[in-house]
Structure 1
Amino acid sequence: MAEARRARGGDGGRTGTVVRLPIRPRTAPAPRDLRLDFFRGLALWLIYLDHVPGNVLNLATLRNFGFSDAAEIFVFISGYTAALVYGRVMRERGVIIASARVLKRAWTLYVAFIFLFVVYLAQIAYVAQRLKNPLYAEEMNVLRFLDEPDVTLIQALLLRFKPANTDILPLYIVLMAAFPLVLWGLTRRPNLTLVLSAALYTMARLMGWNFAGWPAEHMWVFNPLAWQLLFVFGAWCAMGGLEHLEPIVRSRAAVVAACAFLTASLFVVLSWSVPALEGLVPDSVAEIIYPISKTDLALLRFAHFLALALVVAHFVPMDWSFLRSKLAKPLILCGQHSLEIFCLGVFLSFGAQIVLAEISGRLLTHVLVSVAGIIAMVAFAALMSWYQENEKRRGPDRAAGGT
C-alpha cells in the first residue's frame, strides 16, 4: 500500500516524493560475427578482380572453381546482416521505426548508385574521348547514354539502365526496398516467409519473370525475383533459422556430401576450359543442368553456394582466432564498408582495364594492377573506419557544444 501511495505522488498528504520506476536492464548485444565482414570483404575483392576483363588473376577467383561466385556471397551476407540490424530494431522499436530505417538505407543505396552512375560515366566518356576509342563506351554499355543522354538519364533514375559492372547495386536497392515486408514476415512467420520466397523464385523461373531494362529488349542481369531467395534465406538464417540448420552443419555426412558436390562442380567447370576434360559431362546430363543461369540464379548455383556455406560454417567457427589477426584485418575493414568499397572497386576495375589494354599486358602488370586496386580498397576502408571512430569520440563534445 505504501508503494501504491508513493506511485500516486502522496504518502499521508506529503508531496515531492521522488518516484523511481523499475528499469528493465538491456541485454548486452551479441558479439559481432567477424566472419560476415571477412567473407563480404573477400567477395568485394573477388568482384573487383572479376570486373577486370582478361585479368590473369581472374583464374584464381571463385567462379572458376564452381557454379556460384562472389555475387552469391555478397547477397547472402547482405540479407543476413540486414536481418541482424533491423530485426533487432523491429523487436525493440516496432514495425514503423524499423521499416523507416530500412527504407532510409535503401535511399542511401539509391543515392550511391546515382553518384556511381554519374562519376562512372564521366570516367568512361573521358577515357574514350582522350584515347579516341569509342569501343570503351560501347563495351561498358554507356554508348547509348552518349547518343541519348536525356532519355538514358531518366532510365538510370528508374534503375532500368545500368552501366557494366554496376548491376548488383540496383539489385541490392530493390531487395532493401522490399525488406520491410520481408522482415515483418520473418519476425512472425519465418518459415512461411521463406516458403513464399521460394515460391516466388520458382514462379519467376518457370514463367520467365524479370524486371525490364532499357532498351526494352534488355532485362536485369540480376533478376530480383530470383535473387531475392538468397537474400531472404540469409535473413531467415539470421532470424533464428540457423539454429534449425545446426544439426546439418555439425553432421559429418552432410559435410562429406557437400564436399562431393563441390568437387563434382569443380570438374564440370574445368571441363569448359580444359581440353583434357572436354566431354566430361555426358550429353544426357548436360541437357538437364544447362544453362546454369546467373541472371535467374540457377538452382545449381544456389545449391553450390549452400554447399560452400555449409563447409565454411562447419570448419570456420565464430571464434576463429585468425579473424582477429592482422592478416584478416584488411578483409574485415572492406567488409565493414561494403557500399563504399564496391563503388570504389567499380572505378578501379575500369582503370585497371585501361592500363592492361593501353599500357602493358605483361603478367607483371596484371599482378600490379590487381594488387594496387586491392591496396587502394583497403586504404580507403581504413580511412573510413578512422573517420567513424573519430566521429564517435567527438560525439559527447559535439553534443555539449551544440554543434
Structure 2
Amino acid sequence: MSSIADQIAGPSVGDASALAKDVVSAPAITLPAAGERELRLDLFRGLALWLIFIDHLPANILTWFTIRNYGFSDATEIFIFISGYTAAFVYGRAMLESGFVIATARIMRRVWQIYVAHVFLFTIFLAEISYVATNFNNPLYAEEMGIMDFLKQPDVTIIQALLLRFRPVNMDVLPLYIVLMLFLPLILWLMKWRPDVSLALSVALYAATWHFDLYLSAYPNGFWAFNPFAWQLLFVFGAWCALGGAERMSAILSSRITMWICIAYLLAAFFVTLTWHIPQLSRFMPKLIEQWMYPITKTDLDVLRFAHFLALAAITVRFLRKDWPGLKSPWLRPLILCGQHSLEIFCLGVFLAFAGHFVLAEISGGAGLHFLISLAGVLIMSGMAWVISWYKHSADKNASKKKGAVGNADMAGGG
C-alpha cells in the first residue's frame, strides 16, 4: 500500500540507547524527505481547477463528467484538502527548521500574495461584468453575477470587498483559503505539539459550528458561502495527513474492509444523486432516510460530503501509487502543470467562466457550442500553466548561470 504520504519515514536507529534518545528529542510530527514533487497532489489539484471551471459554466456535456453529479462532494473538497496538505508540507518544514517566527513570516507573505490575487481578480471580474452589462444593455448580467450592490454603492462595497465580506458569484474559494492560511501558524504550532489533539480540536470546532450555528456574515446580507468554521476541518485534516497522519493511518487505508466500506458508500451516494437527476427514482428512497439526510449543505461542509470525500481519497491512494508511470505521461502533463500553478490558474478560470457564460447567453447554440467553450477554457488554462512553468524554469536557469558566473569570477579574482 502506498498512501499519499508514503515518503514519510521515522529516523533510523542503531541500538536501544539511540532509540531512547531519538524518542525523547524527536518532534511530534514527521515530514517527507525533501525530494521531487508529489505529482499526485499536483494532478488532483489541477483536476479540481478544471472541474471548478466547468461547474461554473451553464450545464453542458462536460458538466456530466464532474464528480458533483455522482456523489455528495465536489472539486472544492479536493482543492481545500490538497491546499491544507501542501501548505503543511511546505511551511511545516520551516516551522521545524527555522522556528515559529520565521515560519509565520513566510506564511503571512503567502497570505498577502493570495489576498492581492483576490483583489486583482475582484477588480478584473467587476470590470468584465460591468463592461458586458453596459455595452450589451443587459443589466441581468450584473444581477446574476451579484454585483448590483457595487453599482449602487461602489464606495461602501469596495471597502466590504477588501474586508472579504462582499464577493460576486464564483469568488468564494479564495476568501476561504485566505482565512484558513491566516490560522496556519497556529495549526502548525499545535501540530508540532500534539498532531492528534490538534485534529481533535478541529473536529470539536466543526461540531460546535453545527451545534451553535457559528458563521461569518457577508455583505449586504447573508453569510459566507463556505463557512470557515466548518471547512477548516478539511484543511486541518489535510495538514494532519501531511505531517504524519497518513502514515499512521496506512494500516487502516490498506485494509480490505475499509476498501469495501468506501466502495459501498460511494455506490450509495451515486444512487442518491441519481434521484436528483431522475425524479422518477425518488419513489425508491425511504422517507425516513430522506428526512435524516437532507439538506446536504455545502456551506457548512455536511458530514455526508466530508465522508464522501474521505471515501474517494481512500480509494484513490489505494490504487494510484506514487510511482505510477502514468504520472509521467504527456497526456497528464497539462493537469499537473495547472496544479503546480493553482493560484494563477484558479483566477484565470473564474475570468474564463464568466466569459463563457456570456458567450453562451448571447449566442444561441446547442450542446456542441457548450462543449467547445468548455474545452477552449480548459485549453487556455493549460496553455497559461505551460507558459508560467516555462517562464519560471527559464528564470531559474538564468539565475543559476549568473550565480555560477559570479562564483567563477570570485575564484579567478581570489587566485
TM-score (norm 1): 0.91
* Match in the other structure for 2:8: none
* Match in the other structure for 2:135: 130
Report the Cα offset of residue 174 of structure 1: 0.3
Query: What is the alpha-carbon distance in structure 2 between the residues aligned to residue 49 and residue 142 of structure 1?
Result: 22
One-letter identity of the residue aligned with 2:200: V
Matches within 5 A, 1:363-402: 363-398=367-402
Report the Cα offset of residue 263 of structure 1: 0.3
SS in 2 for 1:278: helix
SS in 2 for 1:271: helix
* Match in the other structure for 2:330: 326
* Match in the other structure for 1:237: 241
One-letter identity of the residue aligned with 1:353: H
Residue 143 (str. 1) matches residue 139 (str. 2): no
Report the Cα offset of residue 32 of structure 1: 1.7
CA deviations over 1:238-266 (Å, ceiling 9, x no partner):
00000111011111111111000000000
Unaligned runs of 5+ in 1: 1-26
One-letter identity of the residue aligned with 1:41: G
Residue 350 (str. 1) matches residue 328 (str. 2): no
Query: What is the alpha-carbon distance in structure 2 between the residues aligned to residue 396 and residue 329 of structure 1?
Result: 25
Matches within 5 A, 1:115-194: 115-194=120-199
Match of 2:226 among 222, 225, 232: 222
Report the Cα offset of residue 395 of structure 1: 1.2
CA deviations over 1:374-399 (Å, ceiling 9, x no partner):
00000000000011101111214555
Query: What is the alpha-carbon distance in structure 1 between the residues aligned to residue 136 and residue 61 of structure 2?
Result: 24
Report the Cα offset of residue 296 of structure 1: 0.2
CA deviations over 1:300-325 (Å, ceiling 9, x no partner):
00000000000001110111110111
One-letter identity of the residue aligned with 2:116: V
Report the Cα offset of residue 53 of structure 1: 2.0
One-letter identity of the residue aligned with 1:295: T
Match of 1:32 among 37, 41, 54: 37
Going from structure 1 to structure 2, the CA distance change for 1:301 and 1:28 (only over 3 Å counts) comes to: closer
Residue 101 (str. 1) matches residue 101 (str. 2): no
One-letter identity of the residue aligned with 2:260: V
Report the Cα offset of residue 361 of structure 1: 2.5
Query: What is the alpha-carbon distance in structure 2 between the residues aligned to residue 398 and residue 131 of structure 1?
Result: 52
Q: How many percent of aligned residue pairs carry the same amino acid?
A: 54
How many residues are aligned here? 375
Higher relative contact order (CA closer than 8 Å, sequence separation 6+): 2
Query: What is the alpha-carbon distance in structure 2 between the residues aligned to residue 76 and residue 52 of structure 1?
Result: 23
Report the Cα offset of residue 401 of structure 1: 7.2
* Match in the other structure for 2:281: 277
Residue 250 (str. 1) matches residue 254 (str. 2): yes
* Match in the other structure for 1:195: 200
Query: What is the alpha-carbon distance in structure 2 between the residues aligned to residue 218 and residue 167 of structure 1?
Result: 13
One-letter identity of the residue aligned with 1:186: M
SS in 1 for 2:372: helix
Residue 260 (str. 1) matches residue 260 (str. 2): no
Contact between 1:268 and 1:280, CA under 8 Å: does it hold in 2? no
Q: What value does the CA root-mean-square deviation take over the aligned residues?
A: 1.4
One-letter identity of the residue aligned with 2:58: P
Report the Cα offset of residue 28 of structure 1: 6.0
SS in 1 for 2:349: helix
One-letter identity of the residue aligned with 1:63: R
Unaligned runs of 5+ in 2: 1-31, 408-415
Matches within 5 A, 1:8-27: none
Query: What is the alpha-carbon distance in structure 2 between the residues aligned to residue 196 and residue 260 of structure 1?
Result: 29
Contact between 1:227 and 1:296, CA under 8 Å: does it hold in 2? yes
Query: Which of structure 1's runs of 4+ aligned residues deviate more than 3 A?
Result: 396-402
Match of 2:365 among 338, 361, 372: 361
Residue 48 (str. 1) matches residue 53 (str. 2): yes
Residue 211 (str. 1) matches residue 220 (str. 2): no
SS in 1 for 2:171: coil
Query: What is the alpha-carbon distance in structure 1 between the residues aligned to residue 189 and residue 208 of structure 2?
Result: 22
Query: What is the alpha-carbon distance in structure 1 between the residues aligned to residue 131 and residue 98 of structure 2?
Result: 48
Contact between 1:43 and 1:74, CA under 8 Å: does it hold in 2? yes
Question: Which of 1 and 2 has greater Rg?
Answer: 1
SS in 1 for 2:331: coil
Report the Cα offset of residue 360 of structure 1: 2.8
Query: What is the alpha-carbon distance in structure 2 between the residues aligned to residue 56 and residue 352 of structure 1?
Result: 14
Residue 302 (str. 1) matches residue 290 (str. 2): no
Report the Cα offset of residue 99 of structure 1: 0.8
One-letter identity of the residue aligned with 2:100: V
SS in 2 for 1:43: helix
